[in-house]
């Protein structure tokens, strides 16, 4: 019964007892258990990644009115394994003049940046890697390794198209990290802590989505841009830069980039769940079975749902131009994120320890969204009038 209440610590204590009873020192036993845990964790992530490949292909098939994988195994479930075999047996090519060390490290760093994020992700009570009191700072720092892997891949490939694609992708990722950090600061203000476990615990009464729906939208948009998925998939603008920063990668090296992107999407789905939707909580259903495993299943279900939302946007919204994308961030999303941060801090201070705190925060978000829409309408109207005036001026000039 103790196992179901706290499976991680129960397994740890059992393994410590088994190792130390044979004469192994406590320090060595602890290190060995940690290594086994890391190996099992990476194995779980890789198996999940294989499952995500199948989900992605089936979902996009439904969006595009086709079947998707349906031959290898029931419902095509074994198709990803065939893809892995194909990637493994493909020729591994390293371009002439490439920096071999950097070229080979880039896909490893890309995958590592995702796996490091899982260290702070609380799947359920007593089921997490480490409870950092600066968890949100760690999220931003570990995610930045992905940016490093992109510039490494582009520069080390000795290919001008790959380098150009890397520059554009890094410009996009660095730009959209700013509104993402602002959204994380909003969550930090609401929770009173930067730790992931504390943020989930602070949502015991009400999810942060109802306190700041705008922060959720800003974080979702920034996450999609950070992932480089449509409409921000400029790293894959084939008509302009071939295939972006991974143009020269073949076989399993390309597979690592692709697997990292899918796992990163799922990971951000998990962070959306824990930051704005209570993590492992779901309308009290987590109390039906008082075991962390049940809470972990709820959390993974939420993460898969938001992963589906990211796919929904990817296969629905067309790609935008790079200048429009950067203008959208610097002229709209970033100012809105900082205004929301100031409004949240002000309203939170005015209604501190008040029963009106939740409705006040929600109404302030709705009011800010309405003002933003009105401003955008006014700006669009002025732009149309300016264009019409310029057209009329050009017509008069032609007539004279």
Q: Is residue 33 assigned to a domain? A: yes
Q: Are residues 254 and 135 in the same domain?
A: yes
Residues 6+ apart with CB under 8 A from 225: 172, 173, 175, 176, 232, 325, 329
User: Are residue 221 and residue 257 in the same domain, yes or no?
Assistant: yes
The total of structural domains in the chain comes to 2
The residue among 96, 97, 109, 94 whose CA lies nearest residue 152 is 109
Asked whether residue 314 is domain-assigned, the answer is yes
pLDDT for the residue numbered 184: 93
Indicate if 115 and 5 belong to the same structural domain: no
**pLDDT tens string 43-98:** 888 888 888 888 888 888 888 888 888 888 888 888 888 888 888 888 888 888 88
Residue at 204 is within a domain = yes
Q: Does 319 lie in the same domain as 190? A: yes
The pTM (predicted TM-score) of the whole model is 0.89
In a domain, 79, yes or no: yes
pLDDT in the model for residue 370: 93
63 and 130 belong to one structural domain: no
Q: Which of 190-194, 214-218, 395-399: highest mean pLDDT?
A: 214-218
177 in the same domain as 137: yes
Let me know whether 135 and 218 are in one domain: yes
- The answer to whether residues 278 and 333 belong to one domain is yes
Verify that 205 and 318 share a domain, yes or no: yes
pLDDT tens-digit readout, 262-313: 888 899 999 999 999 988 888 777 777 778 888 888 899 999 999 999 988 8
223 in the same domain as 83: no
> Dihedral sign, CA of 87, 254, 159, 152?
negative
- Is 372 inside a domain boundary? yes
- Structural domain ending residue among the three candidates 89, 114, 146: 89
Interatomic CA distance for residues 219 and 271, integer angstroms = 10
Which residue, chain included where needed, has tokens 């007593």? 126
Of 33, 67, 89, the residue at which a domain comes to its end is 89
User: The tokens of 38 are what?
Assistant: 């890391």
Task: Please check whether residues 61 and 134 belong to one and the same domain.
Answer: no
pLDDT in tens, 347-394: 988 888 788 888 999 999 999 999 999 988 888 888 888 888 888 887
Residue 237's pLDDT band, with cuts at 50, 70 and 90, is: low
Range of the structural domain that residue 352 is part of:
98-378
In this prediction, residues 97-116 reach a mean pLDDT of 88
Per-residue burial over 303-323, b = 16 or more CB atoms within 10 Å of its CB, e = otherwise: bbebbeebbebbbeeeebeee
146: in domain: yes
Instruction: Indicate whether 75 and 15 sit together in one domain.
Output: yes
Residue 319: pLDDT band (50, 70, 90) is confident
What is the helix, strand, coil percentage profile of the chain, to 5?
Answer: 75, 0, 25
């Amino acid at each position: 019964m103790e196992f179901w209440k706290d499976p991680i610590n129960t397994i740890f204590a059992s393994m410590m007892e088994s190792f130390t009873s044979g004469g192994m020192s406590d320090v060595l036993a602890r290190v060995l258990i940690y290594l086994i845990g890391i190996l099992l964790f990476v194995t779980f992530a890789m198996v999940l990644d294989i499952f995500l490949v199948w989900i992605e292909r089936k979902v996009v098939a439904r969006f595009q009115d086709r079947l998707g994988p349906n031959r290898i195994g029931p419902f095509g479930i074994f198709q990803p394994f065939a893809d892995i075999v194909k990637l493994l047996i493909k020729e591994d090519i390293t371009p002439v003049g490439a920096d071999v060390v950097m070229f080979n490290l880039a896909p490893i760093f890309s995958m590592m940046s995702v796996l490091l994020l899982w260290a702070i992700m609380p799947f359920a009570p007593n089921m997490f890697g480490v409870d950092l009191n600066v968890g949100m700072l760690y999220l931003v720092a570990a995610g930045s390794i992905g940016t490093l892997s992109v510039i490494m891949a582009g520069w080390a490939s000795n290919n001008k198209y790959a380098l150009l694609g890397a520059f554009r992708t890094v410009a996009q990722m660095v730009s959209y990290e700013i509104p993402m950090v602002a959204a994380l600061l909003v969550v930090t203000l609401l929770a009173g802590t930067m730790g992931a476990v504390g943020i989930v615990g602070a949502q015991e009464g009400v999810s942060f989505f109802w306190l700041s729906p705008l922060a959720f939208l800003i974080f979702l948009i920034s996450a999609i841009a950070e992932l480089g998925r449509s409409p921000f998939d400029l790293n894959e603008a084939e008509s302009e830069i071939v295939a972006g920063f991974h143009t020269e990668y073949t076989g399993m090296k390309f597979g690592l980039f692709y697997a990292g992107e899918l796992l990163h999407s799922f990971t951000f789905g998990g962070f959306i769940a824990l930051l704005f939707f209570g993590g492992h909580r779901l309308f009290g259903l987590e109390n039906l079975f008082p075991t962390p495993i049940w809470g972990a299943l709820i959390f993974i279900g939420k993460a898969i749902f938001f992963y589906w939302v990211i796919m929904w946007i990817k296969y629905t919204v067309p790609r935008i131009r790079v200048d429009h994308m950067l203008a959208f961030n610097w002229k709209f999303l970033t100012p809105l994120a900082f205004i929301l941060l100031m409004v949240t801090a002000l309203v939170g201070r005015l209604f501190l320890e008040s029963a009106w705190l939740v409705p006040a925060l929600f109404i302030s978000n709705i009011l800010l969204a309405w003002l933003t829409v009105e401003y955008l309408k006014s700006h669009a109207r002025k732009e149309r009038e300016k264009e019409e005036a310029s057209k009329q001026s050009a017509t008069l000039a032609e007539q004279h």
